[in-house]
Structure 1
Amino acid sequence: MSESCVLLIIDMQQGMSWPQAGERNNTNAEHEIAELLAHWRANHAPIVHVRHLSTEPDSLFWPEQEGALFQEAFQPLASEKVIEKSVPDAFTYSNLEAWLREQAIQRLLVVGVSTNNSVESTVRSAGNLGFNVYVVASACFAFAKQDFGGRERSAEEVHSMSLANLHGEYATVISQDEAFALLPE
């Protein structure tokens, strides 16, 4: 297998930055993702952009709406792979697994939103499919959410619990500096 590591950027769409999306954590996540994107591009490493296109007409991510568009800082280049999805998991109903295997890519660096939804779902699948997965804790974010018992949970609590769900079983949760070290110079 190749030593290459793909940067997988999940759902960095305009709607994620709107107030309607909710109270979030990691307000510096976009900056960290942009730094990783610049590093991967400078090193001509593989990049995959994932975009959620909802099947619900009232969603911020309904196709052809501004909320579904990529944020300006995360516009894919023509040479970069784009995966469109209508469910949280980027592997379901897409050619992502086949493309990664065709490229002989075994390592994935996952960033984006939301930690407890599309990031967690995609990372779980990637881990179950045998990929070596890394998640940058500070380059993902979540939104405040009520737990099953009805207790309000902060965005940081939701984020931290999701990372705990992933670390060690499906992925390795790492820092930004550790992420840069994954890409050989």
Structure 2
Amino acid sequence: MTPHTLTVDAGVRELRAADHLLHALAAELALEEGWFGCTHLLRGDRPRVAVSLALPSSSLLRTAQERLTAAGEYEVTSGVPDRFGRAVIYPGVTSLTGTVTIAELLRRSAIDRVTVLGAVSPPDPHTRLVTRDHVRPQWQDDHLVLTTMPAAGATLVPFEVPDPTPCCANH
């Protein structure tokens, strides 16, 4: 990840809201392809989800930090809260729609590696991945890794589902 990073804490408590915040910040700052937007779970007295921006240049970082600080809506700090961010926006994410092969996913995006839950080895490059238009890899040892799980028809799907059922939804 680039050293040009900042964290934005808006007091968000859910991943979906943090995803929306990243997209809103991208639009507000007119950010184009080539940057990373990640979510980070912050624990402690006030659990919440912060977002980080990893930008391609120090001048873009300064501009983003100045504009976000001036807005007064967010707590903005330099760096990232941890090395395990969940990537929402990253190079190539917009090309990961529908069904793609693992080889296509790796070629089209910044994702470095794909793992399958319960498998010892990586999936065959020709294996099809049904993206559900929701591909959220996570940083692991400075590599962007997508965790998948087996699905119908010898395909894979990303482990994270786009519309999770909230805990205790039927209670």
* TM-score (norm. length: structure 1): 0.29
Structure with greater helix percent = 1
Structure with greater strand percent = 2
* TM-score (norm. length: structure 2): 0.30
